[in-house]
Structure 1
Amino acid sequence: MRPLVLVGIDGSECAAAAAGWAAREAALRGVPLRLLHASPQLPGTTVPRPALNRLHLLGVQLIQRTVEDLADRHPDLGVEGGHSDETPVDALLGAAHDAGLVVVGTRGTGGFEDLAVGSVALRMAAAAPCPVVLVPPRPGAYADGASATRGAGQVVLGLDAHRPVGEAARFAFSAAEARAARLRVVQAWGLPAESVSSRTLVVTEEDRATWEDQEVLELSDALRPWQEKYPRVSAATDLMLLHPAEALLNASRNADLLVVGRRTEPTSAEGRLGPVTHAVLHHARCPVAVVPHGG
């Protein structure tokens, strides 16, 4: 049985958008969807039992309403809900071990108005054992299940051909295939350090063209096994002489999904996101999938 899709909800607009996106994704994958709501007691406070019972009831009612709503929009999708008294991060991280994908809104009910990405979303993106999709608030974009039709849209993958990440490539190609969407593979590159002197840039057009051709060949070689494995996916490459974060943000302006990787090897700092992924999460306008990989 393929692992389910897990989504955290808290009654916020972002969480509602995340639940709608997660339901469509679970339907595409042909797997069940599980909703999880957490309402822990605040540390250092003593809340009367009637108030705690009321909070728990509100959480249960939110789960029931959301399950019923998603089941109505996706009749063939198995939807279940659960409630936890743990913190949202602890509850989601624990449940993520049984999931193939975790979906969260970019921010929840806490934080301040202009906060781009909340602490729960950042922690899940940095520490979950499976891929995590962060969904921004897009009113109306996920209201109608029929809007998730196949054959329209684009998936963007950020890739470094010098250190190709199989897990991220597999996720992006699979997502594009499931949606019958176009895949755009973006690689940012820079001029070799030795081409820049301390006083002036000494790069000829011929040199630049040669270096760019080398980058194109390496990117093509890195993608060949995935194009052979996913022959139905129409993949185009885009080489940009830009900072990686800027290149990905530019490429994903009209995308349905942006896919980036996150290192999980022992030498990497636990629970930390790289600067490119961090920048993308704070500025992307589309859902972003963060895929853990070992190297």
Structure 2
Amino acid sequence: MSHSVLAGVDGSGHSSAAADWAAREAMLRGVPLRLFHASPPLPGTAVPGPAGDGLRQVGARMLQRTVAGLADRYPDLEVRSEQTDDAPAPALLAAARDAGLLVVGTRGTGGFEGLAVGSVALRMAAAAPCSVVLVPQPSGTFVTGTHLARATSQVVAGFDAHHPVGEVADFAFAAAEAHTARLRVVQAWAFPAESVSPRTLVVTEEDRATWEDQEVLRLSDALRVWREKYPRVTVGIDVVLLHPAEALLNASRGAGLLVVGRRTDPTAAEGRLGPVTHAVLHHARCPVAVVPHAG
């Protein structure tokens, strides 16, 4: 965790929540916080020029206010600010190449009322080279500390013991340890294909219990190495007969962080989000960490 925490800010309430979350995370990791703002010129304008200079000045003042506010709340944190005239999405992706974690609000100043997740946030979740945390704006007026207090309660992680992903497990266990939080590992399962046939109209409770016990044992075995690596983390496991997205959203109610994976494809020019991660990002009410992995 020697790399800095990078936070994209644009002056919106969502980005303010993201900057505060990122500051606390940087403090826990013992690394600097980098605040990044992109202020591309308006269509039809040129940079340099009066319009471009004005946009940069507005962005610079916003960055100064954000840095000052964080310095008051986190006096021991090293905070750096960066500004660019490039478009937000490609600029953030480039800046994240040497970051340990990227934190963004679920939406920014653009979009429309009621939009759950903005285009920039979705692209970061799908394509950033490092893990990304998407932070929603707390309901009502943002009060410093209120949103972050939940981050110490519980971390929820989606896991599939049939296809275990070490990067996701390591991120979730490390986050729970850093936040002194309980870790809740959730695995959704479905009836095996052989349980459904024209001759089998009803699944007995005995068969269901047997299959569920097998899933619990498989998950416990898959997590053993991580429990040994992080002995101070209290772990609870949930094996539920639900769609994965529904299982994760139910488990994340009241949690401080939800951790999911995103498979990377080295042959693809741009990353893609799976349907479960996409659904979680649009409906979760807590910060969501998207962890890239190769498997």
- Superposed counterparts of 1:209-220, under 5 Å: 209-220=209-220
CA distance in 1, matches of 2:246, 2:146: 32
CA distance in 2, matches of 1:135, 1:150: 13
The residue that corresponds to 1:55 in the other structure is 55
CA distance in 1, matches of 2:198, 2:270: 37
TM-score (norm 1): 0.95
**1:77 paired to 2:77:** yes
Alpha carbons of structure 1 residues 66 and 267: separation in structure 2 relative to 1, 3 Å: same
Alpha carbons of structure 1 residues 152 and 4: separation in structure 2 relative to 1, 3 Å: closer
Deviations 1:201-224 (A, max 9, x none): 331111111111110110000100
Contact 1:157 1:186 in 2 (8 A): yes
The residue that corresponds to 1:138 in the other structure is 138
The residue that corresponds to 2:64 in the other structure is 64
The residue that corresponds to 2:176 in the other structure is 176
* Structure 1 segments unaligned to the other structure (5+ residues): none
Runs of 4+ in 1 over 6 A off after TM superposition: none
Deviations 1:138-162 (A, max 9, x none): 0578643587469940000000000
Larger deviation: 140-149 or 280-289? 140-149
Pairwise CA distance, 1:196: 1.3
2:265 aligns to what SS in structure 1?
Answer: coil
The residue that corresponds to 2:205 in the other structure is 205
Paired residue type of 2:9: I
CA distance in 1, matches of 2:88, 2:274: 23
The residue that corresponds to 2:270 in the other structure is 270
Contact 1:8 1:35 in 2 (8 A): yes
The residue that corresponds to 2:240 in the other structure is 240
Pairwise CA distance, 1:5: 0.2
**1:257 paired to 2:257:** yes
The count of corresponding residues between Structure 1 and Structure 2 is 294
2:237 aligns to what SS in structure 1?
Answer: strand
TM-score (norm 2): 0.95
Larger deviation: 225-234 or 48-57? 48-57
1:276 aligns to what SS in structure 2?
Answer: helix
- Superposed counterparts of 1:13-28, under 5 Å: 13-28=13-28
The residue that corresponds to 1:119 in the other structure is 119
Paired residue type of 2:62: L
Paired residue type of 2:36: L
CA distance in 1, matches of 2:115, 2:146: 31
The residue that corresponds to 2:45 in the other structure is 46
- When the two chains are superposed, the root-mean-square deviation of aligned CA atoms in Å is 2.0
Larger deviation: 133-142 or 237-246? 133-142
CA distance in 1, matches of 2:150, 2:289: 19
Paired residue type of 2:101: L
2:156 aligns to what SS in structure 1?
Answer: strand
Pairwise CA distance, 1:278: 0.1
Pairwise CA distance, 1:198: 4.6
Q: Percent identity?
A: 71
Pairwise CA distance, 1:247: 0.1
